[in-house]
Amino acid sequence: MTNPQNPPVPEGVALGAGVVRRNAVLADGRELIYYDDPGTSLPPERRMDERELTPRPETATMRRDVLTGDWISVAAARQSRVVMPPADLDPLAPQSPTNPSELPSLYDVAVFENRSPSFGPALDEAVGAAPVAVDPPRGLDDLDAPGLGRSRTSVGRCEVVCFSPERTGSFGTQSVTRARTVIEAWADRTAALSALPGVRQVFVFENRGAEIGVTLQHPHGQIYAYPYVTPRTTSLLASIEREGPDLFERIIAFEQDGPRVLLEGEHWIAYVPFAARWPIEVHLAPRRHAPDFAALTAQERDELAPLYLRLLRGIDALYGDESHAAFAGGTPYIAAWHQTPVAVGRDTARLHLQLTSPRRGADKLKYLAGSEAAMGAWIGDIPPEQAADRLREAIARVADPASGDTTAGGSIEGSQPR
């Protein structure tokens, strides 16, 4: 169903670091946002999406697990997702006469609403093309209320973040300039999604590798806007309540003085956590308190781009993947950016990356079996201090991205492996 009101892309909005945002609409009414690199070679005009699309699926329903209190979204439309299509049918590449993809025009960075979302498009209130939910959660007390057989509409939004029009790669393969554009997009979308009616937490993440379950090889990540505070964050908030409101400040001081620091900058620090669960697990956090990407300063965003790239490239260099066919595409990982909920914990819970990989050897994976999967009782395979030593050595073999591309990323002078 073509949207007859599909307008041309309007004049751009200037963001930080010279990035320009241009808002558009896909043929079925989904939002599409272009983020142009500073000094982009792309023209301001973008093609309209002229596809004939079926109506969007109904918003999923979530059910409460009375044994744990967790909410489970049952999103059957996800079963129709494209899985590892051939390169000439990449749904995240710019449209061509033979590829009716999701992106009408060539782009630098693009963000759009997922066609088969786990949450949304319905919201607590109608906003733009998003309808009002039939049975939305009625606040945090409603989400925590007891009772069997409880369900609510899975309000919220799921978005795809395309890092590049190239058909292969990941965040770590981008230039510093492009990484800085993506960070600006993350901050812009975090602010916009946090303002949507019924959204209670925004999660930015990248899945990398078939071993993680990735269904598209295109360099991309995702953003989920949840209608509840996630179980992981609920546990974190309980820990802050138990340990004290300065918990993150003390964690960074503790790790700073220990043997697990990997990279340090003026504004960021990367380390293997004291109680790491995974064979590869790294936390990256700002030294200053910031609840989410939108709260980062320009200087913090500038430093993050090259530092994060160096970290990711170091993880890829850990085993020298060119000699291991099983991981020819690089080390699989989940890059999970934990952000503070919209309305709780803003002064105490800090934005931080938790990057984890199940790769426990050159050609081995850690599988979550009985103890971890069923009981949540983890057994670590590699001592965190040993993992940190090996990661520092790998990072030291990687060239500093800032030395080759500082157009938008700034410098990370003094950001060296321990």
Catalytic positions = 220
Residues 6 or more apart whose Cβ sits within 8 Å of residue 49: 3, 6, 24, 25, 26, 27, 32, 95, 104
Is the bond into 97 cis (omega within 30 degrees of 0)? no
Spatial CA neighbour of 109 closest among 226, 26, 218: 218
The DSSP letter of residue 124 is: S
Element of type H or E holding 140 = helix 140-144
Q: Which long-range contacts (CB under 8 A, 24 or more apart) does 74-80 make?
A: 74/154, 75/116, 75/117, 75/118, 75/119, 75/154, 77/116, 77/117, 78/116, 78/118, 80/116
| CA angle 299–300–305, rounded 5-degree value | 100
Residues 6 or more apart whose Cβ sits within 8 Å of residue 176: 305, 306, 309, 401, 402, 404, 405, 406, 407, 408, 409
Residue for token digits 């509840």?
228
What residue type is 342 in one-letter code? Answer: V
Q: How far apart are CA 122 and CA 198, in angstroms?
A: 9
Q: How far apart are CA 413 and CA 400, in angstroms?
A: 10
The 10 Å Cβ neighbour count of residue 124 is: 20
Query: 3-state SS of the chain: helix, strand, coil percent to 5?
Result: 30, 20, 50
Q: How far apart are CA 110 and CA 180, in angstroms?
A: 14
